[in-house]
Structure 1
Amino acid sequence: MPSSHSTRSQAFIARSTIQHVRLYAYRLPLLRQLQYSVKRMRVRHGFFIELEDAEGRRGLGEVSYLPGFHPQIGYQIRLELLLTLQMIHSGDINLFQRTSDMFPIHWKWKVPVSPLIRFALDQAFLHLLCQQHDTPLSHIWNGKPHLRIPTNALLNDLNEQAVFRCMTFREEGYPAIKIKVGRKPFRQEIRLLEDIRSALGDQIQLRLDANRRWELEAAIAFGKAVAPLNIEYIEEPLRDPRMVPQFYEATGIPVALDESIGEARDVEKMLLPGVQAIVFKPEFFGELSTTYQLIKRVQQRGIRPILSCSFYTGYTLATLVQLASAWIDDLSPQGLSTFLYFKQDILETSLRPRGGAFFLTEVIDHQYQVNRNMLTLIRSGI
């Protein structure tokens, strides 16, 4: 278990100022069609902000959006990113470094900036800071981070091949499988889930994700039907998450929340009876200090934090693996398996878990081996 050191991050002060800011775009093909909400996607588009200091050290921060999932769409993100570069140059966005608490940086915004971009700027500067100090990101907060970070596998399509794929996940050593539900007829999904549990036995945790598809009555019916299958939790079963206590009382199945936690202020009011875990996607909260504080808060309440992201590249995956290793005390399988959908990645060597877990030393070794042939320069400033 990591042991927090309240003064550790205070030593990480920038040794050189930012001299250059660049904006890149990327386009990555997927191995298979990705279905989310009512959208389908075969190519992943996104951006990177790059900060460079006077000695030529660089840090990248990723801005990736899913149309229909994030509030912005492509041209809006691109425009805001170009404006962000101008605001950094003009001083409307300033970076300050803290020396009095657990988070080493703080941005001051004179104008509103979307959480997606605030997250990317934090990510970029923290990685730049790590290179200036020749220290892994995981060691900024914690001198003894977890060395092995388990993750769940992801089954995005519950179809007739689902049993075979889940057995493959078991052979690969995954401790848990997250399965998307609520997209097929009720009885078909129940039958497939029964087949999966029968094939896997009880050695692997099953996590279901309904993406807020059901009203209370339908959610309870589904929950009662899968209750004998030893389900670890159902993520977002309800359109109205305030009904979680009623669902839990009727089914006995714990709940994880994700989309219901849209902003930091939502977290405290959603710590309801029946909520066992909260999935944190840092890009929705902006500054990483917010995610850090929320994780510490829910852990104090006995609720498990799960770090995840919305199909970001291996670069951000490596960032989240390191943050999970440092921030989360009792590590359950994290939601870091979106790499399964990428045909190509930004990293020269794509991150892959072994035995259902990432190993911190391997992640640190590969984090900065970026294939720049995959990046297209859009703008350079300062």
Structure 2
Amino acid sequence: MKPLHADICRYEMDFTAPVTVRGVLLARRQGLLLRLKSEGVTAYGEVAPLIGLHTESLDEALQALATFIPELSRLDWNASDGRQRLLDEAALPPSVTTGIEMALINLEATERSSLPSFTDEFPPASKIPVNALLAGDPQAVLNRAAKRYAEGFRAFKLKVRKGELDGAVACIRALHEAFGDKAELRLDANQSLEFDEAVAFGKALPPGCVAYIEEPLTDAALISDFHAATGLPSALDESLWQRPELLDEIGPDPLGALVLKPNCIGGIAKSLDLAAKAHRMGLQAVYSSAFESSVSLGLYALMAAVSSPAPAASGLDTASFLARDLTATPFATPDGFADPAAAWRDSLRVRPDMIETVKSWSL
């Protein structure tokens, strides 16, 4: 069926503690939900550009979404081919495309009373591992890592910041001494390091202590040279949407993973295509959230579950940084794993007290 009614809703959620995104300190997460209704069925999609990461602001996303919604009346049937054509023609900001596509996928699946289905998917894993996000001063990092390890997490992600590399090396050495090869450690430099300082940093690390480092360089075109100098694999994240041609230019040898943020890449289908490419290249496909709510995390978990025969640990621990969430049952990883089918079903049940309707349409 096709959507018959649409609403745009706003939300605001506090973080448990301020979060730094590319030098911007954020106390709360703000975003939009697109609510679609057909006969007796309601579904949501999240439009959530993140300050410091996305080029579109929340107000720009709202304007783009409001301008597009009347186009939904052109859908004869809510199926993958039709909605993809509609979205491709619209040339929307990536966070907006993702939210619209999410809402339409969720609406289709809810109408069928089934899980969403995707093209060329693997049989869905019953559980997917999640990496624990580490943040704060070195002692806070070690304390959080110990707590998350005891809970069952076996993959950690640590941010590495320019100007704080000596402390990062000490922290990584401490994590390596504490966990050795019992847990996977991933780093993320957010394109912050010049080539020479990145190489010096890589050479200062204990051999084999790091699975990969996301976007180590200000110029990602030098990742092959970085790998040759340090032996340390990199992962592409921002480059996947900023300079998508680099993936083929760099090739798989210097890489360990592709980090997939759907609301930056520009949608669900595009992210699944990149996950399939990662599998063909022998790389991990690591789904990652830009501090979105459990509305998004449920679908991302399901995408991870069908993107590989052995899903990599996903970067969906961001829900633990939210003081309150939008869903009645927030995304959970009680033992370091998530149940993707349950997480998706929980993502459909949005708390009305957490959202405010700002615009409505009959389609």
> How far, CA to CA, are the matches of 1:343 and 1:42 in structure 2?
11
Q: Of residues 68, 80, 86 in structure 1, which corresponds to 2:64? A: 80
Question: Residue 331 of structure 2 corresponds to which residue in structure 1?
Answer: 351
1:149 aligns with 2:119: no
Gap change, CA 1:178 and 1:158, over 3 Å in 2: farther
1:305 aligns with 2:285: yes
Residue 51 of structure 1 aligns to a residue whose secondary structure is strand
Percent of counterpart pairs with the same letter?
A: 24
Extract unaligned runs of 5+ from structure 2: none
Residue 138 of structure 2 aligns to a residue whose secondary structure is coil
Residue 226 of structure 1 aligns to a residue whose secondary structure is coil
Segments of 4+ moved more than 4 angstroms: 94-99, 138-143, 263-266
1:137-216 equivalent positions in 2, closer than 5 A: 137=116, 142=121, 144-216=123-195
Measure how far apart 1:325 and its partner are: 0.8
Paired amino acid for 1:74: L
Residue 369 of structure 1 aligns to a residue whose secondary structure is coil
Measure how far apart 1:265 and its partner are: 4.8
1:236 aligns with 2:215: yes
Measure how far apart 1:242 and its partner are: 1.0
Alignment check: 8 A CA contact 2:122 2:308 kept: no
Query: For structure 1, which segment, 39-48 or 354-363, has the greater mean C-alpha deviation from structure 2 after superposition?
Result: 354-363
CA RMSD of aligned residues (A): 2.2
Alignment check: 8 A CA contact 1:35 1:156 kept: no
1:246 aligns with 2:230: no
Residue 50 of structure 1 aligns to a residue whose secondary structure is strand
Extract unaligned runs of 5+ from structure 1: 1-15
Gap change, CA 1:295 and 1:365, over 3 Å in 2: closer
Question: Residue 342 of structure 1 corresponds to which residue in structure 2?
Answer: 322
Alignment check: 8 A CA contact 2:252 2:282 kept: no
Query: For structure 1, which segment, 298-307 or 258-267, has the greater mean C-alpha deviation from structure 2 after superposition?
Result: 258-267
> How far, CA to CA, are the matches of 1:132 and 1:260 in structure 2?
36
Gap change, CA 1:139 and 1:145, over 3 Å in 2: farther
> How far, CA to CA, are the matches of 2:86 and 2:334 in structure 1?
40
**Residues 278-331 of structure 1, C-alpha deviation per residue, up to 9 Å, x if partnerless?**
101111232422222221122111111111121110110011001111122331
Measure how far apart 1:106 and its partner are: 2.1
Measure how far apart 1:107 and its partner are: 3.5
Count of aligned pairs between the two proteins: 360
Question: Residue 46 of structure 1 corresponds to which residue in structure 2?
Answer: 31
> How far, CA to CA, are the matches of 2:37 and 2:119 in structure 1?
20
Q: Of residues 13, 29, 33 in structure 1, which corresponds to 2:14? A: 29
Alignment check: 8 A CA contact 1:95 1:108 kept: no
> How far, CA to CA, are the matches of 2:213 and 2:153 in structure 1?
18
> How far, CA to CA, are the matches of 1:360 and 1:98 in structure 2?
22
Residue 261 of structure 1 aligns to a residue whose secondary structure is helix
Q: Of residues 227, 251, 254 in structure 2, which corresponds to 1:274? A: 254
> How far, CA to CA, are the matches of 2:5 and 2:120 in structure 1?
27
Gap change, CA 1:262 and 1:143, over 3 Å in 2: closer
Question: Residue 105 of structure 2 corresponds to which residue in structure 1?
Answer: 126
Q: Could you tell me the TM-score, scaled by structure 2's length?
A: 0.92
> How far, CA to CA, are the matches of 1:52 and 1:227 in structure 2?
54
